Structure 1
């Protein structure tokens, strides 16, 4: 039996068991609430019903759109490197330059996208994201190198927009609608975002594999992404409210970035979150670039021919990420900043090991399972980080600060990719450096947030 099919089946089984326990835990909380409703007067019972409706309406407005958007991104994940390197036969240095272009424009746009979203509205920013990312996907149909670089530039802008604007829209709506009083836990929302994002990622990994097998081209997943983004834009335009942050027009400039930096620098907790975001998420993007050649090299070292099944591997990695997010939710999410900080510190330390072992052990399955463990760490990282940012950063400057946080992230990735060279030795050095840097980040998080 193919080890990757076996691994996918094993990971799905683990997730099924974890999800069962998560569902059982949710059911155990219902009787207490039911008893409370029975002992309350009619007015309080009616308020409970109204709260349930408000929570349900919020979830149905946000989650389908969010999952379509992340699905459009996950569709591209398994094949973006293979598209440039194999189908278009570009040298690795050129592929690295394409990736780097995305991060350059991501870093440049971090100066202003947060402030523009705060001023003109997060809903409008989400619509701009859908349009920009659709055009970025369409450029892969061309072999013109200028168009390919233009597409990566738009992809960088879209990446800077994607998580900050959707997340800030959600957090602001959560506070405006008073959903904390309705019993909806914000950390639980972030946990579900990561869990369901992982489910979508698993499906998109398998779907992208099918699309490529049927069509014979790695461009097919990008076309499917455009369809997801188009549906998302229609739903956002028809059902979402607009919300704003700081609407002072004087802040939409480099002054806004300066203000964002001041907000970050005056609070050690926000500064620590910014450093963690820059290095952990930056290393995550470096991993996206290097995981494909690392697995291919491990396969070649074992004397095997042909490329690994990247769509299937991607689905396995996303299964692992889902396991991490469910375990985060099962652990009780996070009731306060210190406990979430300690969780984040441990997760970053484990992630450090995931980069060190593949350097020492080149067996294909060892490398694969270390990558799976790293994805599980990502599954815990995102809800932990989302909860901490939601608690520490003020709502009026949220999009601005989140946007500024992406600036050092992009600079870090640009610096790393600019040094890209062919060969296993360079990749081993990158992995060893990433492992050491994550260990330092773990210590910082424990010191200032734990």
Structure 2
């Protein structure tokens, strides 16, 4: 049954894509804003080639991490410790490393990601627990950089090149769609590599762009390293950009935590992004651990097809990205006017697994959530680009991930003691609270942000007039 569903989702995605193309051709004014800028085209290519390569390296090992640890003979509790170490590392060390991107450069930070993640992949070859723990710690730090420095570089470049916020949103939408495609492709390659050379092979592929499994299809075997190639591409294709380059003598002077916290507290819009991102992504990461046992329980002896379901999830995410493009580029709806609806729909979707044991209804609710994720990434990227000031952008974004990692760590440590329905209610509550925060802060209140063109550094006068927390 899942294969026809996958085919139907593909048809829906293509239909939405064609509708957007038709709308852009019909509306020449809209095309001038979103499609025809040479700077937009150049920046999109510059960013997506590197960002999607980095995401490929991240995606390709994901499905086999747990199985790899189990193959080495570790118990469920030991594996849980390794997973918690990754999130804990991202929360503690990753926050500090990610913050340095504002002082030492976003390009340099992205190069650091490549090095750290490369080493993390190599540690998977060792069955020694301490070595695997080191890999998880390095991977956690790298993840913080991946989700902060890359976006900070893009937003800063878009401001330098005088791109409109709608154009920035189109890049985020393209990145979300590309990420879905990369996830599906990496899953297929990881599965083939695992079948051919064993469970450690996907981690080799994470280091290599194309492994020998493609010999049957391509006569001239391509030997390239994804992370090394990504690093070289960053080195030669990206220019450096910075936030606030404090040249103080102390290393602690390079961290901008105090200033970033002050910005978050001083402006309700940034605070709303802080709360809604932390809660939404906490629910999302918990969902990653929960969807498999939930569907297996509802399916019973029939079982589930994990690979096809994951592929469907990614297509739903791509559909969400297309809906974003349709709303913003075709219907010219401001992101602030519909962002809260994404959180609300996602929250309602997570209530269904509590109310029903139907595998089809549960699966449908997960499809809806994944579509919301496809909308979420470009929406939040656009809002962060608009309201977070460039001088402390990386620091602020790493701080956004602090509560996320804390919530996930605490939940994972107690997951086996909690009823699944309680966890689903908790996730739904976080999403609905995020919806309320977004609605109260943004709906019908579109304003010029600190990150917009001509106002890349925080304007003191506007900061004083921004809504405050009391």
Give the TM-score of the pair, scaled to structure 1.
0.87
Matches within 5 A, 1:179-328: 179-180=163-164, 185-215=167-197, 217-227=198-208, 228-250=226-248, 253=252, 256-299=256-299, 302-304=300-302, 308-328=304-324
Instruction: Answer yes or no: is 1:416 the counterpart of 2:414.
Output: no
Give me the whole-angstrom Cα distance separating, in 1, the residues matched to 2:301 and 2:318: 32
2:63 corresponds to which residue? 78
Once the two structures are TM-superposed, the CA of residue 30 in structure 1 deviates from its matched residue by 4.6
| Aligned residue in 2 for 1:45 | none
Q: Aligned residue for 1:107?
A: 91
State the match for 1:41 in structure 2. none
1:324-360 deviation line (CA, Å, top 9, x unaligned): 0101111125999x94234221111111122221233
Q: Which residue of 1 aligns with 2:13?
A: 15
Query: Is the Cα contact below 8 Å between 1:202 and 1:316 reproduced in 2?
Result: no
Deviations 1:218-263 (A, max 9, x none): 3322221222222211211121111111100348538621221111
Which digits, 9 at most, give the CA deviation of each residue in 1:264-313, with x for residues without a partner?
A: 111111111001111111111111122233233333xx2236xx443332
Alpha-carbon distance in structure 2 between the residues aligned to 1:436 and 1:33: 39
Tell me if the contact between 1:209 and 1:310 (Cα under 8 Å) persists in the aligned partners. Answer: no
Partner of 2:380: 385
Per the alignment, do residues 173 and 264 of structure 1 end up closer, same or farther by CA in structure 2, a change over 3 Å counting? same
Q: 1:5 to 1:30 in 2, by over 3 A?
A: same
Q: The residue matched to 1:249 in structure 2 has which SS?
A: coil
CA 1:96–1:430 in structure 2 vs 1: closer, same or farther (change >3 Å)? farther
Alpha-carbon distance in 1 for matches of 2:29, 2:123: 54
**Once the two structures are superposed, what CA deviation does each residue of 1:58-108 show, in whole Å capped at 9, x if it has no partner?**
2222111111111222222333334335x3454333332222111111111
The answer to whether the 8 Å contact 1:286/1:413 transfers is: yes
The residue aligned with 1:140 is 124
Q: Quick one: structure 1 residues 161 and 285, their matched pair in 2 at CA, closer, same or farther if it must change by over 3 Å?
A: same
Q: 1:26 to 1:88 in 2, by over 3 A?
A: farther
RMSD: 2.6
Could you tell me how far apart the structure 2 residues matched to 1:310 and 1:418 are? 24
Equivalent position SS for 2:301: coil
Match of 2:350 among 349, 355, 368: 355
Q: Tell me, what secondary structure is at the counterpart of 1:420?
A: helix
Deviations 1:411-433 (A, max 9, x none): 111121121216xx622221121
* In structure 2, C-alpha distance between the alignment counterparts of 1:16 and 1:136, rounded to whole Å: 37
Q: Which stretch has the larger CA shift, 148-157 or 74-83? A: 74-83
3-state SS of paired residue (2:59): helix
Under a length normalisation based on structure 2, what TM-score does the superposition of the two structures give?
0.83
Question: Counterparts of 1:359-374 in structure 2 under 5 Å?
Answer: 359-374=354-369
Q: Report the Cα distance in structure 2 between the residues aligned to 1:310 and 1:89, rounded to whole angstroms.
A: 23
SS in 2 for 1:195: helix
CA distance in 1 between counterparts of 2:47 and 2:128 reads 37
Unaligned runs of 5+ in 2: 209-225, 444-470
Asked if residue 434 in structure 1 is aligned to residue 419 in structure 2, the reply is: no
Q: Give the structure with the higher percent helix.
A: 1
Post-superposition Cα deviations, 1:187-209, rounded to whole Å, max 9, x if no partner, equal 22211121222222222233333
Match of 2:48 among 49, 63, 66: 63
Matched-pair contact (CA < 8 Å) for 1:110–1:404? no
Q: What's the offset of the Cα at 1:407? A: 1.3
Q: Residue in 2 aligned with 1:401?
A: 396
Q: Distance in 2 between matches of 1:118 and 1:324?
A: 31
Verify the 8 A CA contact 1:114 1:401 in the aligned structure 2: no
Structure 1 SS opposite 2:288: helix
Match of 1:24 in 2: 22
Moved more, 58-67 or 206-215: 206-215
Partner of 1:331: 327
Any conservation in 2 of the 1:76–1:225 contact (CA below 8 Å)? yes
Whether the 8 Å contact between 1:187 and 1:334 is mirrored in structure 2 is no
